[in-house]
């Protein structure tokens, strides 16, 4: 009996995992984000990045509605970064986390919920 119960629990848990994975959609900012950052010796550098938001549930339309506000927040964060941070892998990870937190905060202010699970930089080009 225990053997059958274990199999039933495993089957139910894998079904639940599949259902949870399909509860997300992705929103990509179009066009890619292109902005300046603070470079060495007071010259400006630029970065071009593709940003995707992992959106929870059926909230894609709501996130799309707030896209201009979210895009502006991401551009402002990147524009305040130093060249060393923009060009390092660790720095990019920190920038990504900062952008994710800011986007969630803005969505909470606008809708009462964070609506996104994750913010991803899927492409990053800098000079």
Please report, for the domain that includes residue 33, its CATH number.
Answer: 3.30.479.30
The boundaries of the domain holding residue 65 are 24-126
Q: Is residue 11 part of a domain?
A: no
pLDDT one-digit tens code per residue, 41-93: 767 889 999 999 999 989 999 999 999 999 999 999 999 999 999 999 999 99
Q: Is residue 123 pLDDT above 60, yes or no?
A: yes
pLDDT one-digit tens code per residue, 94-118: 999 999 999 999 999 999 999 999 9
Q: Is residue 15 part of a domain?
A: no
> Which among 73, 71, 69, 77 has a CA at the least distance from the CA of 52?
71
> Which among 19, 102, 115 has a CA at the least distance from the CA of 61?
115
The CA angle 71-74-75, to the nearest 5 degrees, is 85
- Residues 95 and 86: beta-carbon distance below 8 Å: yes
Q: Is residue 7 pLDDT above 80, yes or no?
A: no
Q: Is residue 17 part of a domain?
A: no
Tokens for 28, please give them. 């990509």
- C-alpha span between 80 and 27 (Å, rounded): 24
């Amino acid at each position: 009996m225990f053997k059958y119960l274990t199999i039933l629990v495993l089957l139910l848990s894998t079904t639940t995992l599949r259902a949870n994975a399909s509860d997300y959609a992705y929103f990509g900012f179009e066009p890619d984000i292109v902005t300046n950052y603070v470079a060495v010796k007071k010259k400006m550098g630029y970065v071009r990045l593709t940003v995707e938001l992992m959106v929870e549930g059926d909230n894609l339309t709501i996130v799309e509605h707030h896209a201009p506000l979210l895009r502006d927040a991401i551009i402002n964060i990147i524009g305040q970064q130093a060249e060393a941070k923009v060009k390092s892998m660790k720095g990019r990870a920190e920038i990504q986390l900062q952008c994710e937190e800011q986007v969630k905060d803005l969505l909470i202010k606008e809708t009462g919920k964070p609506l996104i699970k994750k913010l991803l930089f899927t492409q990053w080009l800098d000079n």
